[in-house]
Structure 1
Amino acid sequence: MSAVRPAHFPPVREGAPLVVFDFDHTLYDGDSGSHLFAWLIKRSWWRMALALLIAPVAGPMVAWLPTRRRGISAFVWIGTVGLSRARGLDAMIDRYVALHTAQIRARLLPIALDVLHRHRVQGDRVVVATGAPPELARAILAFVAHEDVPVVGTLVGPRLGALAARRHCHSDMKMTMLREVGFDAPVEIAYSDSSADLPLLKAARAPVVVNPKAGRVDMFRRVLPPGTPILNWGCPGRAGDPVAPAEL
């Protein structure tokens, strides 16, 4: 991915506010990790058969927060049998992004990228925190969107001849992992679609809900400060007040 030249922005100014973006359904229309691991599984018939076999158990686990990490790990394991190190997955991620550039570019949300650019032009301290593997979001942003923004994401490690999620960058753990890598200043603005990111949104001085599921809007209005923006950045099938590029 180093052949792609990132966009140039002013350096982060001293004392700049910390701005945190989620990735899936915030900058990217969909679940980027699911798209990656579906591709990894579809590489061979036996991976597909095994995924179908475990889906009745692992699928509901992914949908339920307390068991989500275990459910995701099961599918990650199937997709990565034969890989024993995280850098092997990084190489597969780079290949996946290179092979699917057009499709990925179509899923990046232009309004979201405009907001990201605005913060970087202002010299804000911007970081993407995602439940996907960090190399995936990093590669998409660098190769497709020409962005070099820092990314914190789910860490994987060896397990039974494959890889599995070792630390899932999700819910409270997302805040922990941000602090561990030096993003320990108070969060000024946080952008996310997900109720799993309530710890992040509640920690932010100015939370912004973007592209939420329609069934979650009332909950966000109830638990977040009055007047919290609930916006739609052009993500089909999601709720929120529509935002046009000219409004940014």
Structure 2
Amino acid sequence: MDEGAPLVVFDFDHTLYDGDSGSHLFRWLIQRSWWRMVLALLIAPLFGPMVAFLPTRRVGISGFVWAGTIGLHRPRDLDAEIDRYVALHGGQIRPRLLPIALDVLHRHREAGDRVVVATGAPPELARAILAFVAHQDVPVVGTQVGPRLGGIGATRHCHYEMKMTMLREAGFTAPVAIAYSDSSADLPLLLAARKPVVVNPKAGRVAMFRKVLPAGTPILNWGCAGRAGEPVA
């Protein structure tokens, strides 16, 4: 890929994929055994409310990740479970990939743009899901994990300002030409882009996006039911 080509960054969840892929994965990991489900219920009063608020979301999610990964000790152990999860659930996962989003991604690649997916999910999860549509070779920057208290935890969460940091560290140092995301957690990315595009936002966030992003920023719906944005045929 031409290093001088326009850099185009896609979020993954609610942008290319209809839903929260990480939550789906970790729910499955927890539901593998009864004692993990009991453990998740026990920690839910503490960690559950944290998930709802941006400043504490990372800590809240990490509690449930830990419950689902006790017994795993290395990132490659989690990658193996991710591949197993995707293989077992292809029939449910494949329909969640948004055709309009995939068409936009494909057109950028055909145009020679430098395309990267930046996600708060583990990168192997996005890669494995994109393999269903032959885009597994798209570079993915995602949350890094490592051993924690007998399980796996995030060592660096690819989220908010850290997403920009991790993109730069991965070699994507050029100015962002276009960024696609649904989330207010990606405001640093959207504000850094010459052309931000909001896709599938929550209805309650539309006014905020219109206020803080440049006038005329597209706010689109790529097929996420229950999400806002101008429908795209």
* Whole-angstrom CA distance in 2 between matches of 1:153 and 1:80: 18
1:235 matched to 2:224? The reply is yes
From 46, 51, 58, the equivalent of 1:62 is 51
Per-residue CA distance 1:184-207 (angstroms, 9 max, x = gap): 110000000000000000000000
State yes or no: 1:141 paired with 2:130: yes
1:69 deviation in Å?
1.4
**2:101 is equivalent to residue 112 of structure 1:** yes
Structure 1 length-normalised TM = 0.92
Matched, 1:22 2:43: no
SS of match in other structure, 1:227: coil
> Does the C-alpha gap of structure 1 residues 14 and 49 become closer, same or farther in structure 2, counting only changes over 3 Å?
closer
Answer yes or no: is the 8 Å Cα contact 1:187–1:203 preserved in 2.
yes
C-alpha distance in 1 between matches for 2:121 and 2:150: 21
CA apart distance, 1:14: 5.1
Kindly provide the CA deviation profile for residues 8-58 of structure 1, in whole angstroms up to 9, marking residues without a partner as x.
xxxx34521000000000000000000000000000011011111111221
Number of residues of Structure 1 aligned to a counterpart in Structure 2: 232
CA distance in structure 2 between the aligned counterparts of 1:174 and 1:219, rounded to whole angstroms: 20
Q: Deviation above 3 Å: which 4+ runs of structure 1?
A: none
Does 2:205 align with 1:216?
A: yes
Check conservation: 1:72, 1:165, Cα contact below 8 A. Answer: no
Alpha-carbon shift at residue 59 of structure 1 (Å): 1.3
RMSD, aligned α-carbons: 0.8
Q: How does 1:7-156 map to 2 (within 5 A)?
A: 12-13=1-2, 15-142=4-131, 144-147=132-135, 148-156=137-145
Instruction: Give the Cα separation in 2 of the matches to 1:213 and 1:103.
Output: 23
Cα deviation code 1:46-93 (max 9, x no counterpart):
101111111122111112112111111111111000001010000000
Cα distance between partner residues in 1 of 2:224 and 2:58? 25
Of stretches 77-86 and 58-67 in structure 1, the one that deviates more from structure 2 is 58-67
Identity of aligned residues (%): 82
Give the match's secondary structure for 2:225. Answer: coil
